[in-house]
Each structure stands twice: as C-alpha cells, then as structure tokens.
Amino acid sequence: MKVKLLRYLANLGYGTRRDVEWMLREGRVTDADGEVLYGDDKVPHEVIRIDGEPLDPAPGMVVLLNKPTGVTCSTKDQGRLVYDLLPERFARRAPNLSTVGRLDRDTSGLLLLTDDGQLLHRITSPKSGLDKIYEATLAQDLRGDEGAIFASGELMLEGEHKPLLPAELEVTGPRTARLTLHEGRYHQVRRMFAAVGNHVEALHRAHVGGLDLDGLEPGQWKLLQPADIERLFGR
C-alpha cells in the first residue's frame, strides 16, 4: 500500500477522514495479529482488519450483479438504485465503483460494476468484441422475417445514420426470442424490435462475453476473480 492508512480506508468507503480517525483512535483497526494500526501506517491490504474483519476488496474489484427490474443504474436518480443492492460503503469508494454500461430501469439481468477505469474501457470498447445476449418477451407474435432483417447488417435505427452490425435472433416461442448483439447502442434491443413493428414487454440480459449469471437470483451479486475476467474475454 503506497498511501497512508487513514486515506486508504477513507477511499475504500469506510467513512470520511474524520470517521476513520475515530475508528483508529478507538483501536478498531488492527493487523491480522490484533496489533493496533495508526493513521500514518502503510501496510498491505490483506493484513488489515476492522473490528477483526478483513477489508472490502482492494481497488480493482469487479462485481457481477443480477439487476432486477425497477432498479436504476445511477447514483442520484429517484427510486431504487443498483447501489442500494450492494454494501453501503461501495458507493463511497474512490475511485468510484461504476456500472460497465447501463441497463435501463425496466431491463433485468447481468450487470458489471468496477472501480478499474482501464478494465471498464476495455469491456465497453467496440474493439473488445464482447457479445451480449438478451432474452426478450414481445407484445405481438413474431412474423418470421425478423432474424433475416437483424442479420442483414442493413437495419437502420430511427435517428441514426449508420446501420447496425449483424445480430443473431433465436426464436424461443411465439412471442419470445434470444438476441445476440455485437455492439451496444442506446436501448438497442427495444429499438430493433420497434423497427420491425413489435414492442418489447420484458427484457433480460443473460450473458456478457463468456460470463453468465451463474445462478444468482435477482438482486444478488458476487465478486469476480481473475479467472472470471479471463472467461469474460473468452480466454
């Protein structure tokens, strides 16, 4: 750890500098052997304990969340936010824990969050080529020609001047389908079905790259490990 303990704990969201100073004065911050630590100390992340418990993950953490509907990917909007589903400290971390892209309020499913800016950029960059798989429930029966239209590479969304990349549609029922995208435009799935005269009533993101929800229930989350990141990029 290159910074002093006082600043480090504040950056991890354990409170303001004053809050952390109080914790230190009370002797609540120790090493793994129970020896009291002080604000000017510089010690490895993994040996620090607060009230006997290990710290939250070090900077560079990645969270996989199964976002429920009715929850917003924002820090300030009204109503329920994705940060309400995580430990309160996570919202106070610096660097910020940011969503990797967004799912709109009415879309559920796989959402990644990270405080690693380089990783966030790598995931969202078109160069990454990460597929995203969505499961859609529609207001009307599928006509049968949607798959060819979506795969053509010629579909133009309203208000845009560049056609969409080809996308793969798998019909799973008269009004349900699985759509694989290779890019991420604003409300893309909803706008694609609108372009062929249909309306998305429910939308769920099931996969991003090599990751799925791995049995997480709506509102549940887990920390990703290096092997998970490798799987995300298909390694």
Query: What distance in Å separates the CA atoms of residue 109 and residue 103, rounded to the nearest whole number?
Result: 8
Give 3-state DSSP helix, strand, coil % of the chain, rounded to 5.
25, 25, 50
- Which three-class secondary structure state does DSSP give residue 17? helix
SS (H, E, C) 163-218: CCCCCEEEEEECCEEEEEECCCCCCHHHHHHHHCCCCEEEEEEEEECCEECCCCCC
CA angle 149, 154, 159 (to 5 degrees): 105
Active site residues: 104
